[in-house]
Amino acid sequence: MSFIKTPAMTGHPYAPGWFLVDDEDCTRVTREISATGITADANGGKHVPMGSVYPSNDANAIGILYEDVDVTNGNMPGSVVTKGVVYLNRLPVAPAAAAKTALEGLGFKFVTAAPVTTRPADGTES
């Protein structure tokens, strides 16, 4: 697995594919995730967040990163979604118009927002 949990990541939810409507009805491939241009955090770690457009957020886009990838020690392999249905509001950065067009041409569909789950105040479900 390409993700390494560090103490600085405590409290960070780890749910690969959280941005997908159905993570079993998607296509994924392994690609090399570049460490170039990634800023180190306060502890010196460099992470590319799940949901990042791959390889760049422009017309060259070919997929979306399925899970966080730790690139602290250089380029690493990562899982890239190449086809699927995506909740736009769950991506860390909205795809640029050119990236969105490129991804739609490859079979991606985008849904504006994930449905809101409401629970009864008394804790019972109907």
3-state SS, residue 61: coil
Residue 23 vs residue 81, higher pLDDT: 81
What was the pLDDT predicted at 1? 42
- Confidence band (pLDDT; 50, 70, 90) for 6? low
Closest CA to 108 of 86, 125, 87: 86
Let me know: does 20 contact 85? Beta carbons within 8 Å.
Answer: yes
- Domain hosting residue 33, numbered range: 7-111
Domain membership flag for residue 124: no
Q: How many domains does the chain have?
A: 1
pLDDT digits (tens, 9 = 90+) for 38-80: 999 999 999 999 999 999 999 999 999 999 999 999 999 999 9
What was the pLDDT predicted at 5? 54
Looking at residue 104, which CATH number applies to its domain?
A: 2.40.300.10
Residue 10 confidence (pLDDT) above 60: no
| Distance between first and last Cα of the chain | 40
Query: What are the structure tokens assigned to 92, written together?
Result: 């860390």
Domain membership flag for residue 41: yes
